[in-house]
Structures are given as C-alpha cells and as structure tokens.
Structure 1
Amino acid sequence: MENYILPKKQAIIVFFVFAFGYFLSCLLRAITATLSPVLTSEFNLLAADLGLLAGGYFLGFACMQIPLGYLLDKYGPKKIVSSFLLIALVGTGSFALAESFSGLLVSRILIGVGVSACLMAPLTGYRIWYAENQQQRANSWMLMIASLGFLSSTLPVQLLLPSFGWRWIFGGIAIF
C-alpha cells in the first residue's frame, strides 16, 4: 500500500471519523455492565450469562484480528472500517430487538466482529496518510476520545434508561 500525506482538512475529517468509530467500540464494549441489572431482570440472566454476554463481544473481536490484518493490507482501512461498522450496526440493532439470551449473545458477537477494525484500521490509516511526526499525536488523541466511550457507557446510560429503556438506547446507538 502506497503512502501519501493527506491535506490538513482531509486529515482532520479522517481523524474524527476514525475516532468516532473507536469511541463507539469502547461504548459498546462497556455498556452491558451498566445494563446488567436491567438485562438480568428482563431475561432472568445468571451471573454466568452476563459474563458470556461480555465475552461474546471479545470472542467476535478476537476472531477477526488475524483476518483483519490481511484485509487491511488488501483493501485499506477506509473500506474495511466502513464494512465492519455495518456489521456492528446490524449487531447493535439486533441486540435492541433481541427476545432471548441467544439473540443477545449472537448480537454481542456481531458487535465484536463489527468493531474489531476500529483500532487497527485507524492505526493503519494514520501510518499511510499522516506525516510521520503527526502519527503518534493522532493515535493519542484517538485513544483519549475513545476513553470517552467508556465514560459514556456509565452515568449517561443510567440517566437515559428510565426515560428511554435499554432497547431504545441500543437503537439510538445503531442509528447514530
């Protein structure tokens, strides 16, 4: 893959698109912890079931890491992150509509697959499209923005739950 430096305006747009994807990845990774009381009540889940739901995300995520490297090299970060985020959208939407534990679990696996490119695709993109002296700064700022995804999965979700319910929250994330 050939390297070329993006003009400043394009580099900023690329950065925010990638940072938003990684923000979503972190939000979706942690949100089930906040929703665990509601999910436990609605689906009669055990602690082991909650652990499996959390693990489903990581299972999907981990299974894609080796193919992801190949796909990034072959098709580039822009196509891969776009395609993978569509999978995350399907997983997030299906989580909102799930009627059973198995539906929740399959959805979490799809979410994990879908967001699995949200770290490596930006790192690859920054390497290709950013000047060498800007790559580390872009990486650092992206990680900082992503940490806001973890924060957003806590109190903001708890504040929205009484008004909207967990299904609408997931639906909103899918639409967003």
Structure 2
Amino acid sequence: MEKQNSRYRWVVFAAVLFAYFLIVSQRTAPGLITDQLMVDFKVTASTIGLLTSVQFLAYASLQVPIGLLSDRYGPNLFLIVGALLNGIGTVMYSLAPNEYFLLVARLLVGIGDATIWVNLVLILSQWFKVKEFISLLGFAGMSGSLGFLMATFPFSAWIDLTGWRVAFLTIGILLCLCGFILYYVLVKKPNQLFKQEKKKKTTLEKSESTIVLLRRLVTDRQAWATFLCHFGLVGTYVGFIGSWAVPYGIHMYDMTRSEASQLIMIGLVGAIIGAPVSTWLSNRLGTIKFPYATVHLMIFLSWVTVFLFAGKPPFYLLIILFLLIGFGNGASALTFATVRQYFPMKVVGVVSGFANTGGFLSAVLLPSIFGKILDHFPGSSGYHYGFIIPVIFSLLGLIGGVLIKEKQEGVATAIHVD
C-alpha cells in the first residue's frame, strides 16, 4: 500500500497524536476545579459526581458502536467529529451559566472522547505497516499519559493564573481548530496525494450483519483475551490512582494533599515510560504475548505485595510499586497491537472498542467497590481489604495475557494480514 511507504504518513501521525494529547488532558481536568464549581454554581458533591458519570458513561457505552461504525464507514470522519465535539463541549463548559449547561457540555465531551482511541488505532493501522504500528502505539500511549500529566500541575497553575473559564475556553478553541486541521490532514490532502486509492476504499466487501458480527465477537477467545488484558491493567491503574491514591496517601502515610498528589505523578511517569518501552521490546523479541503476559504478572504481584503489607508497604517500596503499576498502564497499548496483529482490518475497530470497554468497565467498578469497602471497614483496615479488588482485577488481566493467541509466524510476518 502506497500510503504505508509515504513520508506523508508522519504528518498524519503527528496531527492525530496532538489531537489525542489535548483530548486526554480534558478527561480529568475538571477534577481540578471541583471545589470551585460547587461554590460558583452552588451544587452538591453528588451533582459533581453526576457530571463525571455522564461523561464516562457516554464514553463506555459508545465504544463498540463507534467501532462498528468506524469499520463500516472509515475512521477519519469520526475522529474529526470527535475532536469538534470535544472542542464544542469544552467551550460550553467554560461559558456555562448553570449546572445544566455543565451537564450537556460534559456529555458532548464524553461522546467526542468515545470516538478518539478506536479511530486513532484504525488510522495508524491504515497508514503504517504492522511492525511500525506496534512501536507507534507506544508513542500514542505516551502522548495520552502526557495529556494526563498536563491536566495536573501545569493546567492547575494556568487556572490559578487566568481563572478556570479562560483556561477551558482556550483548550476548547484549540480542540475545534484540531478538528479542522484533522479534516485537511486526513481527508483533503490525502485525496490529492492518493487519488488512485480513493476508489479502492469504496470496493470493500459488504460487512456481515451487526448481530452476526457481535455474536462472533462475544464468542471469540482472542477478543475476550484483549478485553481481560485491558480490564486488568487500565482499570486498576485509572480506578485506583485516579480516585483513591490521594486519600490513600493522606490516611495511610500522613501525607499532605500536595504530597499525596505526587503519587499520581509517579504513576504517570511509569505510564510514560511503559508505553514506548513495552512496544519496543515486543518488536525486538518478535512477539507480543511473552512481554505482555510478563507485564500482567508484574502488575498482579505488585498489587499482591501492597495487600500482603496490609496496605502500607515501606514508602520506598510504594514508590517502586506505583512506578510499576503506571508502567503496566502504559504497556496496555499492546492490547491494540494484539488486535491489529490477529484480526482482519475490517473488524479492528469493533474489537478495539470491545477491548477498550474492558478497561473502562474496570475503571468504573474499582473505585465504587473500593469505596464501599472503605465505608464498611473504618481506618487502615479498609485500605487493606480494599486492595483485594485490584488483586482480583489484575489476576483477570493475567488470565487475559495467558489466553492471547499469536500467529506462529510472529509479529514480523503479521504484516501480510492485510
């Protein structure tokens, strides 16, 4: 395929990753102004929780439908629309006069966000050969982690300097501009450069009916393996570090809120390292399964270690464990390398959506179950017993890693799948 040998593919790569970086930064940025929103809009904590829930519920519920639509109609349109919806939602958020506008704004952001990762995977699949694709997924994962990093101290400092409305308005405008840039980079320019391929795209064979495809998906061992892999790595990281890491540091180690927030930073550093290192290692070894199963074992043992220390390992060990758990989240990019290697291109989108749903489902379940355990067991014993949950979830991830099937030819020969 000419696209996969052109220099232009690197322009596509840069544009898509920049959009992903900005979009990811807005997933958690509203958490920085929770207290301020409660004062400005005179709303309760439950209303703030509803704003977050609406955003992530939209994200979770649309993963498989977006995958189906992207496989059928192509990923470019959905990535462009997703960036625009994110931008419009973020602008609305910055200008909201009341909590109802905030709710609609976060719903738009959630819908837009739901389109991004699945279509990023599909676009990179189209523009890059499999061996390149695996390495570049690592950099894509790293750009997402950098987006999360931007939504911590840098964005907080920006809000302190200009106020939260100006900061969110600026990012919203940038995201809208990204939508137009993506249209030029993904649609207009390629139509000029690759006219001979435009017709090829319209000759794709008719897809099977949605019901038949979904039935095959939910009975496919490899699809469930990727679902479990993402469930075990992403959910335990996002679910705990994103929700309970700061209270954990405060209550178990007598840290200040600022000191406890550094635990999140440590996890992010691990994630930034984990994405490119794990994909590079997979390419180097010529296999996805072995390094990925090893990562899952490492994460399972990390959570077991925290549990065996009654939720309070020595602080130096805690730092190491948070780095490792973050590394595992970064390595979750190998889930989509597995999808790209094993499944035909016409279903990569829906299988990627299915796998991504696993990670999000885990991230939703873990904080709520962990919170119920904390309510039931007061004090440090609550955290001790609470860590049974990430132990179980990461064990499911390890099972997924073991269940992965690889083509006997290895990664290099998987180039011929297309």
Equivalent positions of 1:31-110 (< 5 A) are 31-110=29-108
Structure 1 residue matching 2:4: 3-state secondary structure: coil
Give deviations 1:73-122, integer Å, cap 9, x for gaps: 12212221011211111111111111111110110010010121111101
Q: Equivalent of 1:145, from 129, 132, 143?
A: 143
Q: Equivalent of 2:165, from 158, 164, 167?
A: 167
Give percent identity, aligned residues only.
29
Give deviations 1:10-69, integer Å, cap 9, x for gaps: 221111222122212321111011111221221122221221111121122123222211
Q: Which residue of 2 aligns with 1:9?
A: 7
CA distance in 2, matches of 1:171, 1:94: 8
Q: Which residue of 2 aligns with 1:125?
A: 123
Larger RCO (CA under 8 A, 6+ residues apart): 1
Higher alpha-carbon Rg:
2
Aligned residues of 1:91 and 1:111 also touching (Cα < 8 A): yes
Task: Say which is worse superposed, 101-110 or 58-67, in terms of deviation.
Answer: 58-67
Q: Which aligned segments of 4 or more residues in structure 1 are displaced greater than 6 angstroms?
A: none
CA distance in 2, matches of 1:40, 1:12: 44
CA distance in 1, matches of 2:64, 2:154: 34
The one-letter amino acid of 2:48's match is: L
Aligned residues of 1:18 and 1:118 also touching (Cα < 8 A): no
Task: Say which is worse superposed, 95-104 or 63-72, in terms of deviation.
Answer: 63-72
Aligned residues of 1:96 and 1:166 also touching (Cα < 8 A): yes
Task: Say which is worse superposed, 148-157 or 36-45, in terms of deviation.
Answer: 36-45
When the two structures are superposed, what TM-score results if normalisation uses the length of structure 1?
0.91
Task: Say which is worse superposed, 42-51 or 149-158, in terms of deviation.
Answer: 42-51
* Structure 2 unaligned blocks of 5 or more: 175-418
Aligned residues of 1:80 and 1:117 also touching (Cα < 8 A): yes
Give deviations 1:112-143, integer Å, cap 9, x for gaps: 10121111101111222211111111111011
Equivalenced residue count is 174
CA distance in 1, matches of 2:3, 2:122: 13
* Structure 1 unaligned blocks of 5 or more: none
CA distance in 1, matches of 2:18, 2:57: 22
